[in-house]
Amino acid sequence: MDLETTGLSPASDLIIEIGGVFWDTDRETAIEAGGFLVRLPEGVALDPRITKLTGITPADLEEWGGDLPDTLLRIGAMCQKHGVSYLVGHNGRAFDRAFLRAAVARLAASRPEIDHLLTLPWLDTMEDLPFPEEMKTRKLSHLAAEHGFLNPFPHRALFDVMTSLRLLSCYPLEEVIRRAAAPIVTVVALVPFDRKQEAKDAGFFWDAPSKFWTKRIRDFEEADLALLPFPTRVVSREAP
C-alpha cells in the first residue's frame, strides 16, 4: 500500500491517492492491483507543489476521486477475504500507517473491515530490508535503480507500491519479517561538522529539526555501533 497526500503532517494533511496491490509471495507476482484517487473536502485546496510532485491535479480529484471511507472499506474487505498477512510500503510504518490512523480517527464512524486494515503489521522496504552495507540511499527511485530496474512514475501510489514489492522480492522474506518484528532504535552520530562525511558514509541522515545525523536500526544491530569511528547516542526505542 502507498498513499499520496496533501502534505507531510498526518494531523493536518489529507490522503489524495491510495495504491494497493495484492501480492502472492510464493509466486512473487501481483494478483490484483488498483490506484484510487480520493476527493478532497469542499474548500480544501491542493497545493501546486503537490501537483508538481505527483502530477495529480485538482481537476483529477474532482472528476475521478472517490470517498475515502468507501475506498478504505473496499481495501479492508479484500484484505479480510484473502487473508492478507502484512501491509508493505516504503516508509510505510512511519508515514502511511500514521496517515491511515489519522484518517480513520477523523471518520464519524468506522467499520470492522477498516479497523482490520489498521491492525495489520507492516513490512517497510525502507527499514526492514537487509540492504548491502555499501547501499546507503533509501530513496525509493534510487533503490530501484540500485537493484537494476526503474520506477516509471515516481510519487504515484500504484507505481510506488509495485516498486516496493519488487524490492521486497530481492531479499529473503523470512529475514525481512524477522527484522520487521524487532524494536527500532534511533541513534545520533556525535560528530563535529568537519566529520559529517563519516556519518554519511555510515548510513546516517541529516535530521534538520533536531540538527543531528540520525539513523534508525534494529535493536540486534546495536553491537555494530561500537565498530564506528565516532561515538553515538541512542535517543529512542520504539516497538515495530
Phi, psi dihedrals of residue 213, rounded to the nearest 5°: -85, 120
Rounded CA-CA distance 225/204 in Å is 12
Rounded CA-CA distance 92/101 in Å is 12
Rounded CA-CA distance 120/109 in Å is 20
Across 5-18, average pLDDT: 96
- pLDDT bucket at 178, cuts 50 / 70 / 90: very high
**Other beta carbons within 10 Å of 128:** 25
Cβ atoms of residues 25 and 59 within 8 Å: no
- pLDDT bucket at 109, cuts 50 / 70 / 90: confident
Three cell numbers at 183? Answer: 524494536
The 3-state DSSP class for residue 173 equals helix
Q: Are strands 29-37 and 15-24 parallel, antiparallel or unpaired?
A: antiparallel
Tell me: pLDDT of 108 over 80: no
Q: Which helix (H) or strand (E) holds 37?
A: strand 29-37
* Beta-bridge mates of residue 136: none
State the Rg of the chain over Cα. 19
* Beta-bridge mates of residue 4: 17
Half-sphere exposure of 120 (CA within 13 A, CB side): 26
pLDDT in tens, 132-148: 988 989 999 999 999 99
The residue whose grid cell reads 468507501 is: 70
pLDDT in tens, 70-93: 999 999 999 999 999 999 999 999
Looking at the domain covering 2-181, what would its CATH class be? alpha beta
- pLDDT bucket at 213, cuts 50 / 70 / 90: very high
- What's the mean pLDDT when you consider all of the chain? 95
pLDDT in tens, 50-72: 999 999 999 999 999 999 999 99
pLDDT of residue 235: 95
Lowest mean pLDDT, pick from 115-119, 133-137, 172-176 = 133-137
pLDDT of residue 171: 97
- 181 to each of 17, 123, 175, how far by Cα in Å? 28, 9, 10
Please report, for the chain, the start and end positions of each structural domain, with discontinuous segments joined by +. 2-181, 184-238
Cβ atoms of residues 73 and 38 within 8 Å: no
pLDDT of residue 28: 87
